[in-house]
Amino acid sequence: MRLIRILVAVACVLVGATLGALNRQAALVDVGFAAVPTTLGVALIVSLLLGVLVGGLAVTFGVVMPLRRRLSRAARAAPATPPSPEA
């Protein structure tokens, strides 16, 4: 499992480096109150990372947190019975 995580991390770094190297054109990111001059590769990588972050937060608050609350309520409502001794 650890090897798979390392391979996925290395693959992501390689894809990011390739994306940054192939998209060296200048780009101006205007967010209304500020304009940030950057390269197209950096703008793409940052937007992808922000999308992953926002998607992860949406899943966490929309699915994971309600399930955790339901699980904790069920654990409190379940009677605490000691395990039965085996003969």
Beta strands (DSSP E) in the chain are 26-30, 35-39
Using pLDDT thresholds of 50, 70 and 90, give the confidence band for residue 7: very high
Res 9: pLDDT = 93
- At residue 14's C-alpha, the angle toward residues 11 and 16, to 5°, is 110
Res 87: pLDDT = 57
Give the Å distances, CA to CA, from 75 to 9, 32, 66, 67, 84.
Answer: 37, 48, 14, 12, 19
pTM of the model: 0.73
The average confidence (pLDDT) of the chain is: 91
Pinpoint the alpha helices (H) of 1-87. Answer: 2-22, 40-59, 65-77
